[in-house]
Amino acid sequence: MSVQVWTYIFVAVSFALYIGIAIWSRAGSTKEFYVAGGGVSPLANGMATAADWMSAASFISMAGIISFMGYDGAVYLMGWTGGYVLLALLLAPYLRKFGKFTVPDFIGDRYYSGTARIVAVLCALIVSFTYVAGQMRGVGVVFSRFLEVDINTGVVIGMVIVLFYAVLGGMKGITYTQVAQYCVLIFAFMVPAIFISIQMTGNPVPQLGMGSTLSDGSGVYLLDKLNGLSEELGFARYTEGSKSMIDVFAITVALMVGTAGLPHVIVRFFTVPRVRDARKSAGLALLFIVILYSTAPAVSAFARTNLIETVSGRPYSEMPEWFTNWETTGLLNFTDKNGDGHIQYIADKEHNELDIDNDIMVLANPEIARLPNWVVALVAAGGLAAALSTAAGLLLVISTSVAHDLVKKQLKPGMSEKNELWVARGSAACAVIIAAYFGINPPGFVAAVVALAFGLAAASFFPAIILGIFYKRMNKEGAVSGMVTGILLMLFYMMKFKFDLFGGGTEADWWFGISPEGFGMVAMLVNFAVALLVSRFTPAPPENVQEIVENIRVPGVIRSE
């Protein structure tokens, strides 16, 4: 069967599974809609957290960006992996004990302020919509290639599916759907990786295959060959970085601390019955995440090597079918600048004839390696599972922020649970429409867009959460001042250097030599400084709030009320 037929089969079966789970686990109360009733097992929650965490950026774009950046691309790997550990060990247990299942709810109660809650809601919406833009682009990329529909149609199809199980099932439906999506995405990522590792090195373990000699009998190590191919084309050596150390450090820190402020991940720790279960599910999720994250560098090296050997210097007329298929999507473009009919793929941008979108590398990798059609289609289903699982979690955060933290807590405190549930579902539906717009008009490739979301979370939420847990003197004035300053600074830097607003600027104009993806670290430090400074010159929090902060790290139950 053709790739398209296999893709239709895998996508239809997986979508039917997701919809079936949503119908089976539909939410009947706000507690089920927001936190799945608080009765999810640690194993299921660990798998759901892993699926929530491993978005289209992890599945599609991370290996792709490492393929093109080489050593420099490792900042995404280090930042996201370290960030999850930071979240699981330093923040999640204390937030779980505090008893608030959204970040705005925690900030509103910890800082005893409706203004702080509203600022936190606005920050959550900005972070979530930036993040969801990357997921929707991933959905569009997969659909445009494998189902042969345009990207816009693909985004709409994906959003309809997400809308169905997010609005119907809430967190309960999303949780069990994400368990299925984790199984799909990890199987889809590992199967081609194992096949290609055997094909290229004879080693069935991709992580070991990346460091092995080639199976052609030459005795040359895979990475040595890739370094040689890269240098021949004028690119930097694959295993050596070209970014400045300060930028590498800044991006890694921004991704790590941004993780700690991601609302859609934090809420997962409220879906289990006890704090002990939250710790267990955090450990299991890390194990599930490591399977993909430790394999991504190998997939990157395999894909880059195969790509260069397949296209560089070869006649355009002899390109395999996968090449023309990706050309039709607009994500791969050949321009015969010298008119010789051969593809000149080199580092010199003026004479380079091949433009390749980072996001196609993982999806095209099985085709480039000439794996069976069913494997190619499986990867497409995995990419959709990764994008849709995170999109659903983000949409739930958006709807919860609006319905629970804004409408219920601020505008209509006396609203019934039934009406709150309807507001939450309506908010999710509106969020779907906005997310679809971002998917149709994406601001960049998936990993870059998601990195900006992490920077925004680092600039706004991380200081407020850390100080709220570990510093009892932090008051509402300091927290609000810090969040507003941090997120406005990060937004300004993004707009100036990513979208060429406010006079624009080139790489040479970056402040301190730090890219927009890493500037979240600087904005976070400014947030800390402003928050601490303002808190020293304003009244201390009430005694009961300080007592809560003292007790939050002591075993037992506390009530923030």
Question: Over the range 4-23, which residues count as b (16 or more CB within 10 Å of their CB) and which as e?
Answer: bebbbebbeebbebbbebbe
Q: Which domain does 196 fall in, by range?
A: 3-208+223-308+369-551
CA dist list (Å): 66 to 63, 69, 240, 271: 5, 5, 12, 34
Question: What is the distance between the alpha carbons of residues 493 and 509, in angstroms, rounded to a whole number?
Answer: 11
pLDDT of residue 560: 43
What digits encode the pLDDT tens for the residues 458-497? 899 889 989 998 898 999 999 999 999 999 999 899 888 8
| 8 A C-beta contact, residue 379 and residue 366 | yes
**In this model, does residue 447 exceed pLDDT 90?**
no
Distance CA 296, CA 294 (A): 6
CA gap 21, 175 in Å, rounded: 10
pLDDT at 167 over 70: no
Which CATH number goes with the domain that contains 38?
1.20.1730.10
Query: Which of these ranges, 5-9, 113-117, 530-534, has the smallest mean pLDDT?
Result: 5-9
Residue 182 has pLDDT above 80, yes or no: yes
Is 88's pLDDT higher than 60? yes
Spatial distance between the Cα atoms of 376 and 482, rounded to a whole number of angstroms: 47
Is residue 476 domain-resident? yes
Over 60: is that where the pLDDT of 531 sits? yes
pLDDT in tens, 361-380: 888 888 888 888 888 888 88
Dihedral pair phi/psi, residue 287, rounded to 5°? -60, -45
| Rounded mean pLDDT, 404-420 | 77
Task: List residues bridging with 354 in a β-sheet.
Answer: 334
| pLDDT score of 198 | 93
Q: Is residue 559 part of a domain?
A: no
Task: Decide if 426 contacts 214 (C-beta within 8 A).
Answer: no
> 508 in a domain, yes or no?
yes
Is 362 part of a structural domain of the chain?
Answer: no
Give the span between the Cα atoms of 531 and 482, in whole angstroms.
Answer: 5
User: Using CA atoms, how far apart are residues 250 and 172, in angstroms rounded to an integer?
Assistant: 37
> In this predicted structure, what is the pLDDT of residue 370?
86
- Asked if the structure places residue 181 within a domain, the reply is yes
Cβ contact 117:294 at 8 Å: no
pLDDT at 129 over 80: no
pLDDT at 393 (0 to 100): 72
Residue 336 lies in a domain: no
12-28 confidence digits (pLDDT tens): 888 787 777 767 766 66
446 or 427, greater pLDDT: 427
For position 559, what pLDDT does the model report?
45
Element (H, E) at 333: strand 332-334
**Arithmetic mean of pLDDT, 34-53:** 77
Give the separation between CA 58 and CA 387, rounded to whole angstroms. Answer: 9
Q: Which among 159, 124, 364 has a CA at the least distance from the CA of 262?
A: 124
pLDDT higher than 50, residue 558:
no
Which residue in the block uniquely carries the two structure tokens 């919509």? 129
Tell me how far apart the alpha carbons of residues 89 and 100 are, in angstroms, rounded to a whole number.
18
Q: What pLDDT score does 352 carry?
A: 87
SS3 track for 490-517: HHHHHHHHCCCCCCCCCHHHCHHHCCCC
Residue 442: predicted pLDDT? 62
Q: What is the pLDDT of residues 188-232, one digit of tens each?
A: 889 999 999 999 999 999 999 999 999 888 889 999 999 998 888
Q: Which residues pair with 332 in a beta bridge?
A: 356
Per-residue pLDDT of 142-161, as tens digits, reads 777 776 777 777 777 777 77
DSSP 158-222: HHHHHHHHHHHHHHHHHHHHHHHHHHHHHHHHHHHHHHHHHHHHS-S-HHHHTTSBPTTTT--BH
For residue 347, being part of any structural domain is answered with: no
Q: Is residue 348 a part of any domain in this protein?
A: no
Residue-wise pLDDT for 489-521, tens only, equals 998 998 888 777 777 777 888 898 898 888 999
What are 128's two structure tokens? Answer: 């979530």
Query: What is the full DSSP assignment across 357-418?
Result: -GGGHHHHHHHHTT--HHHHHHHHHHHHHHHHHHHHHHHHHHHHIIIIIIIIIII-TT--HH
Question: How many structural domains does the chain have?
Answer: 1
Q: Which residues contact 40 (CB under 8 A, 6 or more apart)?
A: 48, 175, 271, 272
pTM of the model: 0.80
Cα 132 to Cα 452: distance, rounded to the nearest angstrom: 11
Quick check: helix, strand or coil at residue 312? Answer: coil
Task: Give the HSE-up count for residue 457: Cα atoms under 13 Å, Cβ half-sphere.
Answer: 30
pLDDT of residue 400: 75
